[in-house]
């Protein structure tokens, strides 16, 4: 496939390309023998600008102001994080209203941000409670991180007039300009220093993309 990792059907908001990819994949079921490995025959640009529109420079239209009250560095980080989630939530709700679906699958924004925040601030000997799900802490942190990133993406592009960013631009913003990115990097460092093997593996390999470490 001529698509980047994680976009097996190409860029979002391109149903014509997605349908052609799916139809080609279904056609493979009729092969007389296998295994079958075929390349998608089209070169697809990753640009998400619609035809006829001038390409623009994407930036999230939110400026997050740090908290001013006296707190430890970690407490300040979590305060900023909570402010971000609260600021983005109405736009995420707008996404749900318009689309009726979301890539946020296991934890809603409040649950994922709450779990990650409690882990960052909590006692290393007392892991945070995982509400409503029978999961190990390592799995819960990984799923929470995935859902949090999906929440930020869907919220950031739902503001009226916002454009769809290429993934590299969104990742640059998420990992370098948001408290959420800093929280996940803090979660990673704490996981790496845990006694539990699953948490150490999660921190080392499953939370932060290699190009963002």
pLDDT digits (tens, 9 = 90+) for 174-206: 999 999 999 999 999 999 999 999 999 999 999
**111 and 18 within one domain:** no
Flag whether 65 is in a domain.
no
**103 and 1 within one domain:** no
**100 and 186 within one domain:** yes
Flag whether 201 is in a domain.
yes
What total of structural domains would you count in the chain? Answer: 2
pLDDT digits (tens, 9 = 90+) for 106-120: 899 999 999 999 999
Residue 35 structural domain: 1-46
pLDDT digits (tens, 9 = 90+) for 137-174: 999 999 999 999 999 999 999 887 778 888 888 999 99
Q: In angstroms, what CA-CA distances link 107 with 75, 76, 115, 166, 209?
A: 22, 23, 9, 25, 20
- Which of 105, 106, 109, 58 is CA-nearest to residue 83? 109
Query: In angstroms, rounded to a whole number, what is the distance separating the alpha carbons of residues 146 and 9?
Result: 19
Flag whether 139 is in a domain.
yes
Flag whether 172 is in a domain.
yes
Flag whether 177 is in a domain.
yes
pTM for the whole structure? 0.70
């Amino acid at each position: 496939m001529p698509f980047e990792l994680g976009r097996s059907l190409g860029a979002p908001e391109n149903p014509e390309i997605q349908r052609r990819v799916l139809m080609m994949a279904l056609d493979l079921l009729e092969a007389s023998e296998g295994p079958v490995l075929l390349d998608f025959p089209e070169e697809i640009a990753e640009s998400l600008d619609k035809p006829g529109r001038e390409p623009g420079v994407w930036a999230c239209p939110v400026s997050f102001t740090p908290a001013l009250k006296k707190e430890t560095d970690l407490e300040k980080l979590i305060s900023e994080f909570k402010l971000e989630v609260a600021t983005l939530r109405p736009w995420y709700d707008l996404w749900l209203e318009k689309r009726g679906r979301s890539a946020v699958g296991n934890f809603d924004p409040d649950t994922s941000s709450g779990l990650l925040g409690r882990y960052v601030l909590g006692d290393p000997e007392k892991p945070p409670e995982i509400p409503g799900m029978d999961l190990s802490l390592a799995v819960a942190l990984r799923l929470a991180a995935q859902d949090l990133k999906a929440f930020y993406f869907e919220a950031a592009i739902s503001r009226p007039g916002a454009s769809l960013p290429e993934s590299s631009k969104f990742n640059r913003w998420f990992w370098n300009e948001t408290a959420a990115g800093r929280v996940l990097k803090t979660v990673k460092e704490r996981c790496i220093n845990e006694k539990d093997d699953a948490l150490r593996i999660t921190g080392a390999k499953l939370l932060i993309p290699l190009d963002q470490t």
